[in-house]
Amino acid sequence: DQQVKQNSPSLSVQEGRISILNCDYTNSMFDYFLWYKKYPAEGPTFLISISSIKDKNEDGRFTVFLNKSAKHLSLHIVPSQPGDSAVYFCAASARGSGGSNYKLTFGKGTLLTVNP
């Protein structure tokens, strides 16, 4: 049972345009969400996160939007740069479950290719 889903295995955009990566979740206990970026043969790098008490969080070119009613979040990258080409993973945790659940549940990732 996949609780975090990234339904697009890949996305291709032009340099300078917006990249939108999507993520859906099914577990209503999830209340904290993170995005990681990963290059081949390297460990994931933390990008940005959002708590369920917010619907938007912004950090430079990266913005994450959360729609709790739809159980959907998205990562916007504006403007996209060739160096952004990587696999992006969405992850979620259930912080509120008595403070005992520190596990992250990851989606399968979306490969973003930014063309010059």
Partner 1 sequence: DGGITQSPKYLFRKEGQNVTLSCEQNLNHDAMYWYRQDPGQGLRLIYYSQIVNDFQKGDIAEGYSVSREKKESFPLTVTSAQKNPTAFYLCASSTFGSGRTDTQYFGPGTRLTVL
> In angstroms, rounded to a whole number, what is the distance separating the alpha carbons of residues 9 and 7?
6
Token pair in block for residue 110: 């979306």
Token pair belonging to 34:
């993170």
| Smallest distance from partner 1 to CB 79, Å | 26
Specify the DSSP class assigned to residue 82. G
The HSE-up count of residue 8 (CA atoms within 13 Å, CB side) is 16
Binding mask 53-92 toward partner 1 (x if CB under 8 A, else -) reads: ------------------------------------x-x-
DSSP 83: G
- 103 sits near partner 1 (criterion: CB under 8 A): yes
Q: Please provide the distance, in angstroms rounded to a whole number, between the alpha carbons at the two ends of the chain.
A: 38
> Binding string, 9-38, against partner 1, x = CB under 8 A?
x----------------------x-x-x--
The site for partner 1 (CB under 8 A) is made up of 4, 9, 32, 34, 36, 41-46, 49, 89, 91, 93, 95, 99, 102-104, 106-109
